[in-house]
Amino acid sequence: PVNHTIEHPAGGYKKIFETCEELNEPIPAVVVGVIPEWLSGSLLRLGPGLFEVGAEPFYHLFDGQALMHKFDLKNGHVTYYRKFVKTDAYVRAMTEKRVVITEFGTAAYPDPCKNIFSRFFTYFKGIEVTDNCLVNVYPVGEDFYACTETNYITKVDPDTLETLKRVDLCDYLSVNGVTAHPHIESDGTVYNIGNCFGKNMSLAYNIVKIPPTPKDKSDPIAKSKVLVQLPSSERFKPSYVHSFGMTENYFVFVETPVKINLLKFLTAWSIWGTNYMDCFESNETMGTWFHLATKDPAEYIEHKFRTSAFNLFHHINSYEDDGFIVVDLCTWKGHEFVYNYLYLANLRENWEEVKKAAMRAPQPEVRRYVLPMDVHKEEQGKNLISLPYTTATAVMRSDGTIWLEPEVLFSGPRQAFEFPQINYSKFSGKNYSYAYGLGLNHFIPDRICKLNVKTKDTWVWQEPDSYPSEPIFVQTPDSVEEDDGVLLSIVVNPGADQRPGYLLILNARDLTEIARAEVEVIIPVTFHGMYKP
């Protein structure tokens, strides 16, 4: 994806970080090309859609208020619809015409109508955590939930995009929040991971399980439970966790040096106008730790896997092979937090400035790590990996830790293969060949990529001044080949004379265009989503 990097001197990308209106009803799209007749369903996606409240701006990419998007495909026709999720954060902001709930990188200031005493008592009620579910949407049983990374998830109607109810996971589980990247098995079982700040200040990461819909059709969330606890490398400082890996029999958790300073989080907060970003810091000495746990029975495995420092947001896939666990990741090298570079002011800069900032940021790299399951003390100093197809290594050191070195699957200067997707329903947790991703060029999304993880071959779809989103794979009915299907992505070409936003449908084989469905509106950035048949 790097042979001919496109430049963006016109700065059209700034338009995907601008507020838009929701729609009163679905609008028809103009279809160019022919949509496969079997493709019948909805692409659902989430991202920020309101970037300021009155005169008060949101500062970070992850602060804008959650907007849910839907492209409906049926009989070759397409409509587009979008609605703001009516979260507490959104409704209260609309009512009070100010930022009421502190977001990831924007502090809400105390109500100007309150005096110092009522402010003091509000503080003792504790932190009001945001429910701004702008990151992803996923199915739980028969229901659909929009989510961010806190303890709140929001039940939405995938047809009308109505907001149904807010669910506080703390009512059911001892977690402070869970990721926006659950793993979902074919029977509907949902697994996720979250931080848990224990009662006696003990700190752990909890893997949770939500069962499929019970026979009596009751809410599966009420039956959710913590399966296993993974230890933290540092007592008062959990690592930031964004996703995790799962194979047929194991969970894989990567503990990075990006830490949440709990003491800061619990003290500074609502008195000093602190936000979430202020509570992150980097541990410059720990590197990165890999943890494993078995799924059934769920037990932590005491192997101490270690490697050098990186940021990790997205696991691509993991699988078991011949006594080894293969873990493919989208990494960013170093311990500095990548989110420091995702303030809206940075992303809205002119192209030369955007490039300059990315020069100083951690460098992206797709990596494969291989973890040996069978570890013996006497094999100190030897490479423990005997899979014929990888150059990744694992070496037992004298202190009993196992040092991992990766195989690089893709690397290009400031060119990230990110927001990875696979043929999830057939190949999640299994030996696979293909990953699809959004190419970030100095953090600006400007291409769709395909990577053969076995041969390292790459394919690219890219057009000038066009800004795509995470590509979602939909398999052809009765497909045999892993890449027999289509990719769905929302693309924005802000400079187009007409219909600047469109749903792009690519052949997953070779990334050639099958069709596009164009609409008369600009569509702001979206992060994650799903295809609902």
Q: How many Cα atoms occupy the beta-carbon half-sphere of 260 within 13 Å?
A: 24
Which parts of 51-147 are beta strand (E)? 52-53, 56-57, 65-74, 77-84, 136-140, 143-147
Cβ-proximal residues to 318 (8 Å cutoff; 6+ apart), any chain: 245, 246, 247, 250, 252, 325, 326, 327, 328, 429
d(CA 438, CA 237): 31
- Is 314 annotated to bind a ligand? Reply is yes
CA 117 to chain centre: 40
Cβ-proximal residues to 193 (8 Å cutoff; 6+ apart), any chain: 178, 179, 205, 206, 207, 208, 241, 244, 251, 253
d(CA 182, CA 14): 31
End-to-end CA distance of the chain: 30
Q: What DSSP state is assigned to residue 339?
A: G
d(CA 417, CA 364): 8
Which of 82, 93, 20, 30 is closest to 51 using CA atoms? 20
Q: What does 158-222 look like in DSSP terms, one character per residue?
A: TTT--EEEEEEGGGTSS-S---S--EE-TT--EEEEEEEE-TTS-EEEEEEEEPPPPTT---GGG
Instruction: Classify 522 as helix, strand or coil.
Output: coil
Cβ-proximal residues to 246 (8 Å cutoff; 6+ apart), any chain: 183, 191, 252, 295, 318, 428, 429
d(CA 93, CA 123): 19
- Is 69 annotated to bind a ligand? Reply is no
Whether 251 contacts 292, CB under 8 Å:
yes
- Is 442 annotated to bind a ligand? Reply is no
- Is 77 annotated to bind a ligand? Reply is no
Which of 170, 142, 143, 169 is closest to 155 using CA atoms? 143
As annotated, the binding site includes 181, 242, 314, 528
As annotated, the binding site for Fe cation includes 181, 242, 314, 528
